Homo-oligomer: A and B are copies of this chain.
Amino acid sequence: MGLDATFQALADPTRRAMVERLTLGPASVSELARPFEMSLPAVVQHLAVLEASGLVASEKLGRVRTCRIEPAALSLAEHWFNQRRAEWEDRFDRLGDYLKKYPDGDPR
């Protein structure tokens, strides 16, 4: 449950598709598996990676396991990008300040 696990989980197109599906609402394992051509155990393994990352949670009721996204984990990753953007924009603000201060190039 950290950025490592989160980004690793999202690096796979199958797992991203599963997250995309689950942002629309909960689904059972077989429902999640249906769009893919791979075996069910493979899907379950992907699910395990998503659960380990904290992006997805699930509960079993009877013989059906129902999965849902955990939006908090998604937000955590999103936040990393926000920080990067903030730093990046801040950097240009400073450059802008510098150019305003020394419009004719290098001081000294």
Contact = CB atoms under 8 A, between A and B. Distances in A.
A35 B87 contact: no
A4 B81 CA distance: 16
This chain: how many copies in the complex?
A: 2
Nearest to A19: B84
Interface in A1-39: 3-4, 7-8, 10-14, 16-17, 19-21, 23-25, 34-37
28 contacts: A3-B11, A3-B16, A4-B11, A7-B8, A7-B10, A8-B8, A8-B11, A10-B80, A14-B108, A16-B80, A17-B107, A17-B108, A20-B84, A20-B87, A20-B107, A21-B98, A21-B107, A23-B87, A23-B88, A24-B91, A24-B94, A25-B91, A35-B102, A35-B106, A37-B106, A71-B88, A74-B88, A78-B81
